[in-house]
Structure 1
Amino acid sequence: MSTKEFIKEQVEKFSSSFTPGQFTELSRTENSLIILEVPLKDYTLTEIARIVESNNAHITALSVMPISGGEFLLISLKLDIDDVTVLLRSFERFNYNVVYYFMKEGEVTDKQKERLDELMYYLEM
């Protein structure tokens, strides 16, 4: 399975309609999805969970898939918060590669991303 297929499958699982039986298995507050790409040698679930929980969020579902011959992992995190902006910044701060994210509210706009990139460039001078 390729990276794009994995992301597509996770997004479809997240956004598809459920039967009543499937719905009872899910958390009622599952609102966001983040997919990380992590080198296998750097993968530590406890660190990822610590980053999530330090931002007042909880992981409601987790999927892991090896890619690139097992050198990298795609980690899909379903979270119980609406706005993952702060969490995205935390992952960036700890050098995690966020390949995809979805949130119901407060999406980061391109303008905000540009301003953040400019700030980071200024701070690195």
Structure 2
Amino acid sequence: MSTKEFIKKQVENFSKPLTPEQFSELSEAENSLIILEMPIKDYTLTEIARIVESNNAHVISLSTLPISGGSELLVSLKLDISDLTTILRSFERFNYNVTYFFMKEGEVTDKQKERLDELMYYLDM
């Protein structure tokens, strides 16, 4: 399975509607997805969980996929937080390569939309 196929599968699993059976297995709090790419020798679940939990979030689901002949690893994290900005900054600070992320509308995107609306109103004057 290639990197693109893995990401596509994770996004499809994340975004498709849940059946009643799946709903009972998963938490409603699952709001965001992060996919990290790293050398397999650098993979430490405890450090990843510490980074996430130090930003007041929790890992709801985690899956991994070895790539590049087993030397690289894709790590998919589903989290219970809707605004990933602080977590993404933390991963950047600790030199993690974030390949993909998805978040439901959070405070940042709402604020950006509000500012864009204000700018458009100003330009229409």
Retained in 2: the 8 A contact 1:64–1:75? yes
Q: Percent identity?
A: 77
Q: By how many angstroms is 1:108 displaced?
A: 6.7
Does the alignment pair 1:94 with 2:88? no
Does the alignment pair 1:80 with 2:98? no
TM-score (norm 2): 0.84
Structure 2 distance, partners of 1:80, 1:108, is 17
Query: Pairwise CA RMSD of aligned residues?
Result: 1.6
User: Deviations along 1:5-35, whole A, 9 cap, x unmatched?
Assistant: 0000000000001110111111110000000
Structure 2 distance, partners of 1:30, 1:68, is 29
Q: Which residue of 1 aligns with 2:19?
A: 19
User: Deviations along 1:45-100, whole A, 9 cap, x unmatched?
Assistant: 00000000000000000000000000110000000000000000000000000000
Q: What SS class does the counterpart of residue 90 from structure 1 fall into?
A: helix
Does the alignment pair 1:29 with 2:29? yes
Q: Which residue of 2 aligns with 1:52?
A: 52
- How many pairs does the alignment contain? 110
Retained in 1: the 8 A contact 2:66–2:74? yes
Q: Which residue of 2 aligns with 1:2?
A: 2
| CA 13–79 in structure 1, closer or farther in 2 if over 3 Å, else same | same
Structure 2 distance, partners of 1:107, 1:89, is 16
Between Structure 1 and Structure 2, whose CA radius of gyration is higher?
2
Instruction: Please list every run of 5 or more consecutive structure 2 residues that lacks an aligned counterpart in the other structure.
Output: 113-125
Q: Match for 2:23: what amino acid?
A: F
Instruction: Please list every run of 5 or more consecutive structure 1 residues that lacks an aligned counterpart in the other structure.
Output: 113-125
Retained in 2: the 8 A contact 1:85–1:106? no
Structure 1 distance, partners of 2:41, 2:108, is 30
